[in-house]
Structure 1
Amino acid sequence: MAPKFTYLGMGAMGRAMSKNLVEKGNLDKPVTFWNRTHKVASEWAAFVGPGANAVEDLLDAVKDADIIWSCLATQDAVFSCFSRMLDTNVRGKFFVESSTVTSEASNRLAERVREAGAEFISMPVFGEPTIAMAGKLVAVPAGPKESVTKILPYLEGVVARGVVNLSEQQVGTASHLKLIGNVMILMMIEAVAETHVLAEKTGLMNEVMHDAINILWPGAAGVYSRQMLSGQYYVDNVSPLVPIDMAVKVSSHVLNLAEAHGAELPAYKAVRRQIEAVKNHCGSQGDLLGVYGAGRLQSGLPYEKEKVLKEDGTRMN
């Protein structure tokens, strides 16, 4: 008999992973969705269908669950939710934590959960929301082998295309890897942005540059390029690929980690300055991919790029 799942956090990543869990997880009980804004969870449960239901109270979401899988927006939100949950009887439950937090935070959470008589693994994921919706994330579970083994059937072929298995590693190792991986992610986004700015300034069609990116560096780089050239980084009614406030917080974690260990990250610091430029221009509504807009402004172009691609990546007529 399959376990009863609860999924906490209905941001873009949480919506994608929870949908795939319902549709591909071969479960025999509905997945319970919870979000701080209940309307988001209830609307998403209605969209996903009969394999999902939503509850308003966090403790109602947890009480009947065997596995509580969370992907929350900030580290503060993670600690807030876990504080409430661990004030109740969670003995025998299994917590899978996929939020982007520091390794120290993961280790503290693991200790508190174990003291409450429950299991805990840290399992951040690599990928952005469209990749997550396609079930093509890379999952990084860390913790006791017997605990990691319990979640593996719900990873490859369900929410992920691959797994970096850190069984028997300290749970914070997964969070450590995710933060360092963030260096590559942000620099890739900045590289795509600068490439398109230079292409436009020198008379090369952005559509041609996009085709080259898709062929030479398929995957995430192509997704970032499409998001930039379809204007999704500035459209009001489109959810940000990565909210700019989240990018600020995660990049701060990375820079604090580097400073604590005496590592210089000159290129990453340059991207951080672009993130701050997006925040200054757009406020909290900004999208991380707005670094493209910031680079355009700095090169004498408007922040908003005239759309040359549709949202599906095909060219505008």
Structure 2
Amino acid sequence: MSQVGFYGLGSMGICMALNLQKHLQETKQPSLHYSNRTLSKGETLKAAGGVEEPNYAALVKSCDIIFTMISNDKVLNNLVDVALLAGSIRGKIFVDTSTVHPDTAVQSSEKLTNAGASFIASPVFGANAMAASGKLIFALAGPRAVTDLVKPLILNVMGRSIIELGEDVSKSSMLKIAGNVIVIGLMEVISEVQVFAEKVGLGTTIMEKMIADMFGPVAESYSKRLTTGCYAPPHGTTPGFGISLAIKDAKHAISIANGHDMRLNVSEAALSHMLNARSYAGENLDSSSMYGTIRQESGLPFWSENSRQCI
């Protein structure tokens, strides 16, 4: 049996890893090995039977299939370099579930393939709640022989569906970035309409009911990130999706669009609002915190009655 590993235990990664460990136990496969920059974040995984490795190099050495869920392109580049220095990686399969630039995915694939390993780019769609319930959507691209090997570790384990994009790993990264254009655009539009509702006297509760009835539970969930104050959570509370990650994703999308002679006008507006929110209130904000900036631009406080009330 293959030894499976997982690196990157942020708010998404820990949920994914726990579901993967549960599956391995239920199917009587070797326990998941894991590592993370901050090892203490793996305590719940250790309690569930996971096996801690001291660092990524040790994880690579001990595992045949290694999943990663990390924050940005720089981290992935560093992990690839570490893997290449960890000894022979011939035959190993690296599965990155993060959102990175398509060029980064291609470069990672080339480096690992040249060393005899395989690389699968499989960024995921879905927030923390979907990760916890094993309902993420995986955009999967890589060599067919190895994607078939990892699918049983994904479907009905960490994800509810797989979108297959062939062997070109840039395609899955591009699809994820395209999906983020929709998500960021929805957050921008819903932020605007909720501020509009407050300014004209309709109120956010009525507007949220209309959003739910007209556009369904996904749009309603985005609205609730605003109305419940999750866009600016209390200090010490992890945002649902951190603002710096969303800024990174928006910049990737805008850069790629500009390279293809087009503009993403809504994404550009959202990026500006997120940058202003981070400048005003710091890093501990959700990607939906463009809502605070739009409130300010409309003469309202950045903070709502349900959000935290301080910088």
TM-score normalized with structure 1 length: 0.90
Gaps of 5+ in 2: none
Letter in 2 for 1:100: T
1:53 corresponds to which of 51, 54, 57: 51
What is the CA–CA distance in structure 1 between the aligned matches of 2:282 and 2:55, rounded to whole Å? 30
Distance 1:133 1:222, change over 3 A: farther
Look up the SS of the partner of 1:285 in the other structure: coil
Are the equivalent residues in 1 in contact too, given 2:188–2:266 (CA < 8 A)?
no
Correspondence list, 1:260-299, <5 A: 260-299=259-298
Letter in 1 for 2:171: T
Look up the SS of the partner of 1:195 in the other structure: helix
Q: Which residue of 2 aligns with 1:31?
A: 32
Are the equivalent residues in 2 in contact too, given 1:29–1:51 (CA < 8 A)?
no
Distance 1:14 1:219, change over 3 A: farther
What is the CA–CA distance in structure 2 between the aligned matches of 1:5 and 1:217, rounded to whole Å? 40
What's the CA shift string for 1:110-158, capped at 9, x where partnerless? 1111111111111011111222222221101101111111111122211
Distance 1:223 1:33, change over 3 A: farther
What is the CA–CA distance in structure 1 between the aligned matches of 2:212 and 2:50, rounded to whole Å? 35
Letter in 2 for 1:292: Y
Are the equivalent residues in 2 in contact too, given 1:75–1:101 (CA < 8 A)?
yes
Are the equivalent residues in 2 in contact too, given 1:278–1:288 (CA < 8 A)?
no
- Greater alpha carbon shift after TM alignment, 4-13 vs 219-228: 219-228
Q: Which residue of 2 aligns with 1:130?
A: 129
What is the CA–CA distance in structure 2 between the aligned matches of 1:217 and 1:293, rounded to whole Å? 23
Are the equivalent residues in 2 in contact too, given 1:232–1:238 (CA < 8 A)?
no
What is the CA–CA distance in structure 2 between the aligned matches of 1:131 and 1:218, rounded to whole Å? 16
What is the CA–CA distance in structure 2 between the aligned matches of 1:154 and 1:261, rounded to whole Å? 36
Alpha-carbon shift at residue 268 of structure 1 (Å) = 1.5
1:179 corresponds to which of 168, 177, 196: 177
Alpha-carbon shift at residue 80 of structure 1 (Å) = 0.6
What is the CA–CA distance in structure 2 between the aligned matches of 1:119 and 1:179, rounded to whole Å? 23
Distance 1:211 1:4, change over 3 A: farther
Distance 1:306 1:10, change over 3 A: same
Letter in 2 for 1:191: V
Structure 1's consecutive aligned runs of 4 or more residues displaced over 4 angstroms after TM superposition are: none
- Greater alpha carbon shift after TM alignment, 27-36 vs 67-76: 27-36
Look up the SS of the partner of 2:184 in the other structure: helix
Look up the SS of the partner of 2:157 in the other structure: coil
Q: Which residue of 1 aligns with 2:64?
A: 66
Q: Which residue of 2 aligns with 1:118?
A: 117
Alpha-carbon shift at residue 271 of structure 1 (Å) = 1.1
Correspondence list, 1:230-269, <5 A: 230-234=228-232, 235-269=234-268
Letter in 2 for 1:77: V
Alpha-carbon shift at residue 108 of structure 1 (Å) = 1.0
Residue 40 of structure 2 is aligned to residue 12 of structure 1: no
Look up the SS of the partner of 1:6 in the other structure: strand
What is the CA–CA distance in structure 1 between the aligned matches of 2:183 and 2:50, rounded to whole Å? 32
What is the CA–CA distance in structure 1 between the aligned matches of 2:23 and 2:210, rounded to whole Å? 34
What is the CA–CA distance in structure 1 between the aligned matches of 2:214 and 2:237, rounded to whole Å? 28
Alpha-carbon shift at residue 74 of structure 1 (Å) = 0.9
- Greater alpha carbon shift after TM alignment, 100-109 vs 194-203: 194-203
Q: Which residue of 1 aligns with 2:77?
A: 79
TM-score normalized with structure 2 length: 0.91
2:212 corresponds to which of 196, 214, 217: 214
Look up the SS of the partner of 1:284 in the other structure: coil
What is the CA–CA distance in structure 2 between the aligned matches of 1:86 and 1:212, rounded to whole Å? 53
Q: Which residue of 2 aligns with 1:164?
A: 163
Are the equivalent residues in 2 in contact too, given 1:95–1:121 (CA < 8 A)?
yes
RMSD: 1.8
Letter in 2 for 1:215: D
Q: Which residue of 1 aligns with 2:197?
A: 199
Identical amino acids, percent of aligned pairs: 29
Look up the SS of the partner of 1:95 in the other structure: strand
Equivalences, count: 303
Alpha-carbon shift at residue 252 of structure 1 (Å) = 1.5
